Amino acid sequence: MRLFTAVTLGNAIEAHATATLERLHALAPRARWVQSHGVHLTLVFLGEVEEARLPELGEVLRPISLRHTPFTLSIEGGGSFGVPRHPHVLWAGVGGETAALEALQDDMAAALEPLGFPRDKRLYTAHLTLARSKDSKGDAAFVACVQALEGNHWGEARVEHFTLFESKAGQYLPRLELPLAGGT
């Protein structure tokens, strides 16, 4: 199974993502766009994992959920990764209580590392991926998309749980959902 942990952003953000992606798709039609259904912020990518390890992952993740309390994030603005004139990734920005999100991600990465899931060497930067370039040289059309995202505010989302997802045939299937301390 191809697994990752993430926080979801709720129906209001999902609705805004749908409208925004439709509008941006016209500006960069050759890009590979994410699905607006189930928009999420990835915390830790685990990769290919045997199904028999799910109970072990649950044992490690449950205490993490008890150490963190719910928090609020906002989705606003956007940017790109890669060469400025030919970016490779288009993203929407994350604001609000990002320190709480980063603490959750750091705790999770540290707990999973002894199980053979190495930490990402890059600093965790909260962002909502919107599209990736199909061209290895990047997509110049993302420049116009970044401009279209300026000043755009998608709303706020209350994060009360995190989920262990399986990525299968373009779908994200929840395998384990854990409430944060005091969450529902």
CATH number of the structural domain spanning residue 35? 3.90.1140.10
Residue 36 inside a domain? The answer is yes
- The arithmetic mean of pLDDT across residues 116-129, rounded, is 90
Domain that holds residue 106: 2-179
pLDDT at 76 over 90: yes
Percent of the chain residues past pLDDT 90, beyond the cut:
76
Strand runs labelled E in 9-152: 32-33, 40-48, 71-83, 86-96, 127-132
CA–CA separation, 18 vs 39, rounded Å? 10
pLDDT at position 55, please? Answer: 96
CA–CA separation, 109 vs 135, rounded Å? 31
Residue 184 inside a domain? The answer is no
For the four alpha carbons of 12, 152, 28 and 90, in that order, the dihedral sign comes to negative
Q: Examine the residue annotation and report whether 16 is marked as an active-site residue of this protein.
A: no
Catalytic residue among 16, 37, 40, 68: 40
CA–CA separation, 180 vs 184, rounded Å? 8
Residue 61 inside a domain? The answer is yes
Task: Name the domain count of the chain.
Answer: 1
Residue 94 inside a domain? The answer is yes
- Cβ contact 130:79 at 8 Å: no
pLDDT at 134 over 60: yes
pLDDT at position 35, please? Answer: 82
Catalytic residue among 16, 68, 88, 127: 127
Number of residues assigned to the chain: 184
pLDDT at 109 over 90: yes
Q: Examine the residue annotation and report whether 37 is marked as an active-site residue of this protein.
A: no
Residue 59 inside a domain? The answer is yes
